[in-house]
Structure 1
């Protein structure tokens, strides 16, 4: 026979001691907040403990969630608003549309401001959301925010480089990337986004946006090359061709070595993105101690050499499609160069 649960019965349960022990264990295991990117601690016990503690708190005094829903003072809805738009535009004063392209796979709108700030709005099919989220979570859990009435997660690559990935609304995911913007200015951009429905695309965008080359504002300057890192380097190994898209990379056959930087991370060995790598060992690159990290995702084997380029910035070489020996030979040929030499090489693409 089931006994009824009463308030008096709940009050008499010896749960307070258990709750205190669980919360103490969580605080012991939980990561301390640092500057971006937020670390990802891979303690397998944390989630079960959080779930158990949440159950204890719920029994003791109602549904109280332990954790931060977003930035200070933020409140994020659990589900998209019924009228949340699938897409977004940035029609706020001070921004102009530089480039637009729409096709069956999604679309991209690029905006610039007079001070050089850039905002890129991308939308893709809803079934790609999980892959996008997994990639962004390499930077940590992110902050929970709201974008046009729907929950989103926000990450900062650097102090002036941010992205927000919104949960699926309708048939699309939506991502908003802001560059050369402080976090406060980026938050203002998110607040200034305007709604755009898929059926209104043709009416709101230039007709050239629906062509293979897309729309580029008449008189707009060509999209700039990737900015030189604060302390740039170049791979000098023979047989490698320098290429440029959103980043600088070198190719040899099917092998590729990408060079990038990550801000607000002083030590490669403490960078959480690489803590779960299959291989982690010290090597020498560019005359200093570096981390060699290796892991596999599906059929792709990743090899990374990461080192401190400045007291707060990592320089990273990420290789795919090559053996460890070939990767180490490539990064061993890297040399520090001046920004002038770097920019000349990148402008000439080798």
Structure 2
């Protein structure tokens, strides 16, 4: 099995958290069989060769922890201090933005930003397109200039040796630096590269290319990857990204035509962290779907026919939820949700629905 083959399978099944697969149909069954046949890194399976897709996978990179992320939106009006430079002097980069007042950031968001690598691409034309999967020392931000992509993934520092050993099977490492940060570059092909930065502050970062690159093009982008302070990092957040402060407003939009299961508490959605709109919609509808399935199972066991019908009707109504239709052109989560919801409503809940919907 090649790296690209496994990667496609991982993206199609999309792991929700270690040991769990979101969408367990035929593809997921094959994925489990493949993973069981090859060694994994401690403590989670290595996601080799991440690829960029036109459509997102099922709840792509979804993880249930509250960590602030950042997206680089087109034009930032903040200047960036390049950290770790010998002279320590600020630079005047190409990055500009319509940022909100930095003083308005909550202590929680600032703390989360401090705990992440905080890397941006300081070149005109590069825009962050995806943010997901932030859980403690784990996260992903993908940047694109319209033709090429760079995905930045970070993991706990304790996993560095395992990942690095795996990359040694890809190619001989070439030493490089990213804003003064020591790293190794690996070649998957003449146009496909990965750069692993050494562990720092409890995590390590890997940059992976998408699209067709030359080495000189990649070197030019690497030269303009900068590590910034927390407030500068947060100032790059465009308004469409759902930060903890924006959760209530965005949740109201997502849930406008969505029936809520008994006991559903919208105030708990604040723990979903920072996400792009797609990931936020997936996380919220995941909780709603899981709540209705739990109610269906309760009613079935109790012989409560009225409640059973209400739960089934609510799950069937998901085919009319605006948020899922808005997401459907972008990714696979709505299709996976509907498949599971329809089976439950028909009285045949999948044995592994928790994994399919990412239920707690």
TM-score (norm 1): 0.36
Larger strand fraction of residues: 1
Structure label with greater radius of gyration: 1
TM-score (normalizing by structure 2): 0.35
